[in-house]
Amino acid sequence: MFAMNPMVAGAIEPPIAEADGWLDGLVPDPARPILPMAQAVPAYPPPDDLLDDLAARIRRPGSSRYTAITGVPDLRAALAGHMQDEYGGVLQAANVLISAGCNQAFCLAISALAGPGDEVILPLPYYFNHQMWLDMQGIVARYLPFRPDRGGVPDPAEAALLIGPRTRAIVLVTPNNPTGTVYPPEVIAAFRDIARARGIALVLDETYKDFREEGGVPAHHLFGDPEWGETVIQLYSFSKVYCLTGHRVGSIIADPTFIARAAKIMDTLAICAPHTGQIAALYGLRNLDAWREANRRTMAARLDRVRAIFADRPGGFELAGAGAYFAYVRHPWPGRPAAEVARDLVREARVHCLPGSMFGPGQEDYLRLAFANLGEAALAALPERLAFANAAPSMAGSGHV
């Protein structure tokens, strides 16, 4: 057999595919349908007017052809305007690269920043695809400790202690995946200041920015700094906000010199993001502000409902963090492997979620529940399911509560 890249072989297998495998062989139970809380996807479809516009435009000449490597010019300009309106500062199309989803945006950004043996700082719990890409590139992850005592907000002072001669970037995800935690503007600014002082990048993944509770309040003020491009690289996704997960469209916002570096990598990977996804994203930016805001309010109400559910500790499950799409929950079996708990939970209670162990070391006591996937009826069933799981003998493991 031919040799294969050991760094790829050494990375974990795709976590969502692994979790989906736990559904194999389950006999459907109409009285207790599965609550799909593993992969984060909107519970509602794209709006009809977006789909109608896409259907009309896809037949036009050129819509099936390559775009520029960095994306459709109108989309780049529209996104720059959107971010400028939200965060202040001055942004232009030259600051934007359109990618095939935010995962690809991360891969492009990290590949433009770091190489084998270099280091990147990740707060725990991390988003697993970030760790997978670092592993496959031979880049070393340095972990910021999980801080439940700070509401899951990482400590900038601890990050400063991790920076060494081969550190290339600090990565922040806010609202966070998996915890849902929203990092305060002053904390984000403190990370920026540390990164600037040490000559490294701050990579800010804002995939879920459109689902923050505080609508109309800027998540940060980084772009108001005239020298932001010396330090900041922002990543974004259109997938969740416009329900375009299958169309694969995301972005990088950075200094034009960095955009040019990332475009070299983009050209070798995909040449450009899918044209149809870019068409849909542009329609969304131009026409769906009210729709986006209505969904933000819906998700904020759902978050309130989740907090109310876990205030009663159903089945002994405790809320460790919540926001945007996610609840990060401490399960009631300390010391039991989280993957084992998650597999038993879907089998016994038909709650399909992800184990904390998929999000880094020290996370065995936690589960990630993507509540954005659930309608009201399904969400209302969650407390009973968790209580049922706690009472199931097979769930007891080594720490039944």
Q: List the one residue out of 238, 398, 317, 337 whose CA is nearest residue 37.
A: 317
Angstrom distances, CA of residue 317 to CA of 52, 151, 334, 364, 400: 43, 17, 11, 14, 11
pLDDT of residue 215: 81
Q: Are 187 and 153 in contact (CB under 8 A)?
A: yes
199 vs 18: CA distance, rounded Å: 38
- Distances, alpha carbon 288 to alpha carbons 46, 139, 244, 245, 278, in Å: 10, 39, 13, 17, 15
Tokens of 47: 């709006």
Question: Would you state the pLDDT for residue 396?
Answer: 64
Provide the residue-wise pLDDT of the chain in tens; the chain has 401 residues: 999 999 999 999 999 999 999 999 899 889 899 999 999 988 889 999 999 999 999 999 888 999 999 999 999 999 999 999 999 999 999 999 999 999 999 999 999 999 999 999 999 999 999 999 999 999 999 999 999 999 999 999 999 999 999 999 999 999 999 999 999 999 999 999 999 999 999 999 999 999 999 888 899 999 999 999 999 999 999 999 999 999 999 999 999 999 999 999 999 999 999 999 999 999 999 999 999 999 999 999 999 999 999 999 999 999 999 999 999 999 999 999 999 999 999 999 999 999 999 999 999 999 999 999 898 899 999 999 999 888 877 776 544 43
Q: Are strands 250-253 and 318-323 parallel, antiparallel or unpaired?
A: unpaired
Question: Which residue is listed with tokens 């459907």?
Answer: 28
Domains of the chain listed by start with CATH number: 6-45+290-390 (3.90.1150.10), 48-288 (3.40.640.10)
pTM of the model: 0.95
Instruction: Using alpha carbons, select from 111, 72, 128, 63 the residue that is nearest to residue 266.
Output: 111
User: What is the DSSP secondary structure assignment for residue 93, as one 8-state letter?
Assistant: G
Q: Is 250 left (phi over 0), alpha (psi -120 to 50) or beta?
A: beta
Looking at residue 373, what is its pLDDT? 86
